[in-house]
């Protein structure tokens, strides 16, 4: 028996927002647990199913929405006003670093977005369109005018919940029955977003990195390329062992869905780790694959961690990371590695989450003869803090250690941002 709870649209709070605008078509978010939230549609005029998750990030809706790890998810933003800085042109060269996009991939990856108040007017010097027009152009439905706090409190209590966003005429249909909901975690979403063919970025770079693409965010690629790496991006299940001698290091990217669909990659990696001693670094899904190859289990968290202010405590020192320090990190995950005692031989916990004590990183022990790191969070940010960005330099420095002619550069993300501002039009202050 599902509880039937009805939440009515919020009263509009801002003059420049859509909420409560009765000219917009109706939209309803149905949760499989029985609750329905009524609002207005500002995206594509179509209805979808997905997994309803919330993000506590206060900025970077553009980066989150283009992150392939959000594939299949109905993304609820807890920040009430979303869209106020619009959306930039995704192919503009200003920050592309030769990876082809400004945002995190070519298109919107999440299934839908849910916001309290969408900003109709936007203002930013790089913006070329509104959030609403971007969603419509990418055929992604969106709802505004719902109580995102109420939705988030439900999701925190009952966990990530399957949902349906019904738009327009579909809002007059009854809520779907339990078996009509689509569960994206049953599918191998990685296979849907990973590159089908290998390709190279910055081929003249002197340190050769193979990147297994589980749904890589562009800023991971930029963070490697900016530091001087040549990056060969490979499908997630590529037989890296057949070509590994050509590379100085292996990188495993982030990616959507349940990591157990990628067991094949963990088995391949286990062989790599047994037979190859060069550095390996993994982020989020990549970290989970490293853990599975090391013999750890991954489990599904209640509501995961999605946001840009997740504190993690370093338990060990390595490169720029100092044991005992807390780093603020960007995160987007539903699964995590299980803490076990003892840890598999040759491995140790690297970071732990200060809020929920989940594992945030693992590394090979210093006496293992290996250089392997996995982190559950996103050192590349986009969006979020750059506290751990130097982990890319740490990784590439280790990859270059056996080469006499390697030329690496500092990433200088902060400096790059200043350069971007140098070329910006003057900001007019309106009284």
Ligand X SMILES: NC(=O)CC[C@H](N)C(=O)O
- Strands 280-283 and 249-252, how do they pair? parallel
Is 334 a residue that touches ligand X (CB under 6 A)?
yes
CA–CA distance, 138 with 200 (Å, rounded to integer)? 27
Active-site entry in 284, 360, 398, 399:
284
Q: How far is the CB of 185 from ligand X (least distance, A)?
A: 9
In the complex, what is the shortest distance from the CB of residue 418 to ligand X, in angstroms, rounded to a whole number? 28
Burial per residue of 259-285, b for 16 or more beta-carbon CB atoms within 10 angstroms, e otherwise: bbbbeebbebbbebbeebebbbbbbbb
- In this chain, which of 64, 194, 221, 332 binds ligand X, going by CB under 6 A? 332
Tell which residue, 185, 167, 145, 165, has the closest CA to residue 32: 165
Candidate list 335, 373, 392, 395; residue touching ligand X; CB under 6 A:
335
Q: Per rule CB under 6 A, is residue 69 in the interface with ligand X?
A: yes
Judged by beta carbon, residue 41 or residue 331, the one nearer ligand X is: 331
Residue 5 or residue 339: which is nearer to ligand X going by CB?
A: 339
Query: Should residue 257 be labelled a site residue for ligand X when binding is judged by CB under 6 A?
Result: yes
| Structure-block tokens of residue 341 | 């005692």
Tokens representing residue 146 in the block: 């719902």
* Nearest distance, CB of residue 74 and ligand X, angstroms: 14
Site string for ligand X, 21-60 (x = CB under 6 A): ----------------------------------------
Task: Kindly give, in sequence order, each residue whose CB lies less than 8 Å from that of residue 120, ignoring residues fewer than 6 positions away.
Answer: 16, 17, 18, 83, 130, 132
Q: How many residues bind ligand X (CB under 6 A)?
A: 12
- Non-local (6+) Cβ contacts of 57 within 8 A are 64, 77, 79, 306, 307, 308, 309, 330, 383, 384
Q: At a CB cut-off of 8 Å and minimum separation 6, what does 138 contact?
A: 44, 107, 108
DSSP 291: H
With contacts defined by CB under 6 A, name the span among 31-39, 94-102, 320-328, 331-339 that binds ligand X. Answer: 331-339
State both tokens at 332.
């987007």
285 binds ligand X (CB under 6 A): yes
Closest distance to ligand X from the beta carbon of 351 (Å) = 15
β-pair type (35-41, 26-31): antiparallel
If the CB atoms of residues 112 and 359 are measured against ligand X, the closer one turns out to be 359
- Residue of 40, 222, 308, 333 that binds ligand X (CB under 6 A): 333
Regarding 255 and contact with ligand X (CB under 6 A), the answer is yes
Q: Which of 254, 318, 353, 393 binds ligand X (CB under 6 A)?
A: 254
In the complex, the smallest distance separating the C-beta of residue 322 from ligand X, rounded to whole angstroms, is 25
d(CA 265, CA 277): 18
Cβ proximity to ligand X: between 375 and 400 the closer is 375
CB atoms within 10 A of CB 23: 6
384 binds ligand X, rule: CB under 6 A: no
Helix and strand element counts for the chain (H, E): 9, 22
> Considering only 14-22, 147-155, 196-204, 326-334, which stretch makes contact with ligand X by CB under 6 A?
326-334
Tokens representing 309 are 């202010």
Task: Show the tokens assigned to 178.
Answer: 């339990």
Q: What share of the chain is helix, strand, coil (3-state, %, to 5)?
A: 25, 30, 45
**How many residues does the structure list for the chain?**
431
Q: Among this protein's residues, is 97 annotated catalytic?
A: no
* Choice among 97, 380, 398, 413 that is catalytic: 380
CB atoms within 10 A of CB 254: 27
CB of 73 to ligand X, least distance (A): 9
Q: Is 284 a catalytic residue?
A: yes
- Tell me, yes or no, if 51 is annotated catalytic: no
Q: Are 249 and 403 in contact (CB under 8 A)?
A: no
Contact stretch for ligand X (CB under 6 A) within 72-80, 109-117, 220-228, 330-338: 330-338
Told to check if 284 binds ligand X by CB under 6 A, we report yes
Specify the stretch interacting with ligand X by CB under 6 A; choose among 84-92, 110-118, 192-200, 329-337: 329-337
Among the listed ranges 40-48, 57-65, 140-148, 253-261, the one in contact with ligand X (CB under 6 A) is 253-261
Structural Rg of the chain based on CA atoms: 22
Asked if residues 380 and 283 have their Cβ atoms less than 8 Å apart, the reply is yes
Closer residue to ligand X in complex, CB, 88/255:
255
Query: Among 127-135, 138-146, 252-260, 264-272, which window interacts with ligand X (CB under 6 A)?
Result: 252-260
Catalytic residues: 284, 378, 380
Give the binding site for ligand X (CB under 6 A).
Answer: 69, 254-257, 259, 284-285, 332-335
């Amino acid at each position: 028996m599902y509880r039937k709870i009805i939440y009515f649209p919020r009263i509009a709070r801002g003059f420049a927002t859509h909420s409560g605008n009765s000219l917009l078509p109706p939209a309803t978010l149905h949760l499989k647990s029985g609750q329905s939230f009524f609002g207005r549609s500002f995206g594509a005029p179509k209805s979808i199913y997905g997994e309803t998750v919330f993000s506590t990030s206060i900025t970077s809706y553009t980066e989150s929405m283009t992150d392939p790890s959000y594939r299949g998810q109905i993304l609820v933003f807890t920040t009430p006003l979303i869209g106020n800085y619009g959306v930039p042109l995704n192919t503009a060269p200003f920050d592309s670093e030769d990876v082809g996009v400004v945002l995190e991939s070519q298109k919107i990856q999440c299934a839908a977005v849910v916001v309290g108040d969408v900003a109709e007017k936007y203002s930013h010097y790089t913006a070329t369109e509104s959030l609403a027009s971007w969603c419509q152009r990418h055929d992604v439905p969106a709802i505004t005018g719902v109580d995102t706090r109420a939705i988030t409190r439900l999701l925190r209590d009952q966990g990530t919940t399957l949902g349906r966003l019904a738009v327009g005429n579909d809002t007059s249909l009854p809520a779907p029955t339990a078996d009509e909901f689509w569960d994206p975690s049953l599918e191998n979403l990685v296979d849907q977003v990973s590159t089908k063919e290998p390709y190279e970025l910055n081929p003249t770079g002197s340190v050769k990195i193979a990147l297994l693409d589980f749904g890589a965010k562009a800023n991971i690629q930029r963070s490697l390329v900016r530091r001087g790496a040549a990056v060969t991006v490979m499908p997630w299940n590529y037989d890296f062992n057949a070509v590994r001698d050509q590379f100085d290091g292996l990188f495993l990217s982030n990616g959507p869905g349940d990591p157990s669909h990628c067991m094949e990659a963990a088995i391949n990696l286990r062989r790599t780790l047994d037979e190859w001693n060069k550095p390996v670094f993994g982020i989020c899904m990549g970290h989970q694959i490293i853990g599975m190859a090391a013999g750890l289990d991954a489990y599904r968290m209640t509501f995961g961690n999605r946001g840009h202010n997740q504190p993690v405590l370093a338990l060990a020192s390595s490169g720029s990371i100092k044991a005992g320090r807390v780093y603020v990190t960007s995160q987007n995950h539903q699964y995590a590695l299980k803490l076990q005692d003892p840890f598999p031989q040759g491995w140790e916990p690297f970071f732990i989450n200060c809020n929920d004590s989940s594992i945030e990183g693992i590394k090979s022990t210093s006496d293992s003869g290996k250089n392997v790191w996995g982190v559950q969070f996103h050192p590349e940010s986009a969006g979020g803090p750059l506290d751990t960005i130097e982990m890319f330099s740490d990784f590439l420095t280790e990859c270059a250690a056996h080469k006499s002619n390697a030329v690496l550069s500092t990433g200088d993300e902060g400096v790059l941002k200043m350069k971007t501002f140098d070329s910006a039009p003057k900001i007019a202050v309106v009284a």
